[in-house]
Amino acid sequence: MIMRSIASENASGPETICKKRGLLRIMTTKTNAPYEEPPPYTNPYLAGVLLGLVLLASFVILGAGLGASGGIARIGALLSLNVSAPHTLGSEYFGKWGAQLLNHYIVFMFVGTFVGALFSVLLMNRWHLQVERGAASSVGRRLVHALVGGLMVGVASRLAQGCTSGQGLTGGALLLSGSLVFIVCLFISGYATAWFFRRQWHD
């Protein structure tokens, strides 16, 4: 509640516009729809403190940080196992994980992440079925970008043994040299190539 009341410093402008629009709608259509506009996002610094405290709890209770790509990889390994069990169990990388692929804390963490996010989405009324993109971009372009981007992230996360959660947040907070190098490299290549993928966000 405190988080909600302290709006982002940048949100004060758009927020007043939202209020006006809401008021105008109520006045003109005479249908009171107070929950139609989702509330603004939490102040990013306070959301960051909340995220940091969750990470700290993970360190103290589990003795391991947060992770997401591990859960995705284990789903991939499970699919691979169902296509060909001998091939998967005999492979050099997935083979080490055995056949009980979902029997791992990182899988439960991934499920928890989805449920926690869904809880917040429902609470804040932010569910919106859509292909998120710029108004001038086609659905096809956005989905191809998402698919190929996902493929690259899938490979990269296995290579680096973690993603923005496992290497970025966790390794960063633990001050591990390799994790900090990973974060720097991620932003270098992101900024270097952003121009090529800009059109999916054009309005």
- The least CB distance from residue 82 to other proteins, in Å, is 11
Contacts 24+ apart (CB under 8 A), 8-16: 8/40, 8/41, 8/42, 8/43, 8/44, 9/43, 11/40, 11/41, 14/40, 15/40
- The least CB distance from residue 18 to other proteins, in Å, is 15
136 within 8 A of 202, measured Cβ to Cβ: yes
How far is it, in rounded angstroms, from Cα 66 to Cα 124?
24
Cβ neighbours of 82 (radius 10 Å): 9
- The least CB distance from residue 40 to other proteins, in Å, is 9
- The least CB distance from residue 126 to other proteins, in Å, is 6
| Nearest residue (CB) to other proteins, 28 versus 63 | 63
| Nearest residue (CB) to other proteins, 32 versus 84 | 84
| Nearest residue (CB) to other proteins, 99 versus 131 | 131
162 within 8 A of 171, measured Cβ to Cβ: yes
Beta bridge partners of 7: 42
| Nearest residue (CB) to other proteins, 30 versus 195 | 195
- The least CB distance from residue 199 to other proteins, in Å, is 12
168 within 8 A of 68, measured Cβ to Cβ: no
Residue 64's contacts (CB-CB under 8 Å, 6 or more residues apart) are: 58, 105, 170
> What is the largest distance, in Å, between two alpha-carbon atoms of the chain?
68
- The least CB distance from residue 14 to other proteins, in Å, is 10
